Amino acid sequence: MDFIELLNPFKYFSEASYTNFFKILFNSLFNGWLARVLGFAFLFLAFWFWTKRENIARGLGFFFMALLFGYGWVIFKILGVA
């Protein structure tokens, strides 16, 4: 039980700083220049693995990750997380 208590973030941070950290993380990852850069990188990797390496599963995985970074902010706003 002591190991599980070590994983509790509220033991180290207050609730306000914890929620503020994730709001900043969502704002920087899904709404801004970092989202565009990562989306482009994942689209490039999807194209590379799907066509050049002929690994369709990995290409689709990178494609869905690019969709997540492209539309993640909208999805999180609809779900009420952000």
Residues 64-74 have pLDDT tens digits of: 999 888 887 77
Is residue 3 a contact partner of residue 58, using CB atoms and an 8 Å limit? no
Question: Which residue range(s) make up the domain with 53?
Answer: 25-82
Does residue 9 fall inside a structural domain? Answer: no
- Domain membership of residue 74 (yes or no) is yes
Give residue 37's pLDDT band: very low, low, confident or very high (50, 70, 90): confident
Cα(79)–Cα(72) distance, integer angstroms: 10
48 belongs to a structural domain: yes
Q: Where are the alpha helices (DSSP H) in 1-82?
A: 2-6, 15-30, 33-47, 56-79
pTM of model > 0.75: no
Q: How far apart are the first and last CA of the chain?
A: 32
Cα 25 to chain centroid, rounded: 9
Please name the residue that has the structure tokens 């990562």: 38
pLDDT at 35: 81
Mean of the per-residue pLDDT values of the chain: 85
pLDDT band at 1 (very low <50, low <70, confident <90, very high): low
